Chain A
């Protein structure tokens, strides 16, 4: 009996000492400890998740030589009815790519240049561009009303909060309505696994 006990004790001692030496050896190699605190990370630039619409310029101002003018300031002084489709005078630098829709007064109301014009010549207020664009883009308007065209912000559930539908000229520049090309945000990091680069290097050696 005592012999067996002694034997067991000896085995235990051997195991425990081997464990001690193993633990010490591990410490000596200085393996990276478990990260109790996360690494320091660089913040993302705020414009990477900016929710501002692409063309959010809805001001009724015309910029010339670093001054801002309202339409009336120039157009009250002379006859505004210029039926040319070419950019003229102060607007000659403007670029138009709205297909065949080249005449200013197809959309702008020549009686009151701060409003848009409807089919019958009546005014469409400046803050409701949707009513103007639907004159031609009926199918797009139908999709927009249903929520299938254009971005929706806020709440999917009307009963819980307001749902904001962005309007035509928040994403499209009316004079160049094609959606602009954008700079893509950086591609995913290919070093998504820690020490991936190091291991990759090892494989190549």
Chain B
């Protein structure tokens, strides 16, 4: 309360209570308010006009899409149809995108005979072809490390080697890809459960749920995850048109992807692309829950080690050697 209020006695307002509460709209106030509102509206609409360019990237269906594990089969059918349409629009090929479910009582494992691997990198490009990874910028799931014989120090390995012929003397080659860990640090790092472990042991990424924060890439001790910095560039004639929702479908820009043991092939009973292409036969893939499988034979009879055992990730990818 100011002094002036104290000195002057309270003056009676001659207007009625209705007039005070509902101030009449005069011509002057109407024009003032109207002009301000119109200016603000036009300004905002012009300022937001660049959002029109996002129309292609932000489909409403994709925006409101649920998490993979909460989708009903009908919703999944709609999503697959939408993805096929998007691929047709962007790449001009008619793809068949399907959602492959894990086979019950199957758990995959992979063995790689480092005694036999010669580092020819056929697996790298066979993988690129099967999994529709971007050619430019290049995305490769498999990295072949050239190591000194007698050493296990990956810090001193070379993966940019370009010899005239391989194997080089005094070197051995160790391809590294996603190890499909039983205790995956990447899925723990994901803040939104966009990546998780399936019952058959494959760690998958829902590319529509991924926000591209790349925490999983930082968490992975094997550097197995790749980020799509740009929209994948793949020549139309080279696109593998048989795609899986969680596997090899063409990724959108800004999401993380990784090796899925060729989920589309594995869940149909086929061998992964890197196994098919390896000229030395150093790669073996199979179901560890089948006691008769070749992978079980290797685990029982060969010398086997796992990569970065101290990380405690318990990989499903085993390196073995003869003798």
Residues of A within 8 A of B (CB): 1-2, 5-6, 9-10, 12-13, 15-17, 19-20, 22-23, 26, 33-44, 48-51, 53-54, 143, 146-157, 159-161, 166, 171, 179, 181-194
Contact yes or no, B90 A179, CB < 8 A = no
Contact yes or no, B281 A35, CB < 8 A = no
Contact residue among B40, B138, B280 (Cβ-Cβ distance under 8 Å from A13): B40
Contact yes or no, B233 A40, CB < 8 A = yes
B221 at the interface (CB under 8 A from A): no
Closest to A166 in B: B281
Tally of contact residues, B, Cβ under 8 A: 88
Give A5 to B23 CA distance when docked, in angstroms. Answer: 14
Contact yes or no, B275 A152, CB < 8 A = yes
Contact yes or no, B275 A151, CB < 8 A = yes
Give A23 to B46 CA distance when docked, in angstroms. Answer: 9
Additional 10 contacts, C-beta under 8 A, given A51-B126, A156-B269, A192-B229: A15-B43, A19-B46, A38-B90, A44-B135, A48-B126, A147-B294, A150-B281, A155-B271, A184-B162, A194-B230
Residues of B within 8 A of A (CB): 23, 29, 32-33, 36-37, 39-40, 42-44, 46-50, 53-54, 56-57, 90-91, 103, 111, 113, 116, 118-122, 124-126, 128-129, 134-140, 143, 159-167, 229-235, 237-238, 253, 266, 268-271, 273, 275-281, 283-287, 293-294, 297-298, 301-302, 322
Contact residue among A150, A182, A187 (Cβ-Cβ distance under 8 Å from B118): A182
In the complex with contacts A54-B279, A156-B270, A156-B285, A193-B57 CB distance below 8 A: no
Contact yes or no, A184 B230, CB < 8 A = no
26 A-B contacts, Cβ less than 8 Å apart? A5-B36, A6-B32, A6-B36, A13-B36, A15-B43, A23-B50, A34-B53, A38-B231, A38-B233, A39-B233, A40-B235, A41-B233, A43-B238, A51-B277, A148-B284, A148-B298, A151-B279, A152-B284, A156-B287, A179-B116, A182-B166, A183-B164, A189-B137, A189-B138, A192-B138, A194-B230
In the complex with contacts A179-B118, A182-B279, A194-B137 CB distance below 8 A: yes
Contact yes or no, B129 A171, CB < 8 A = no
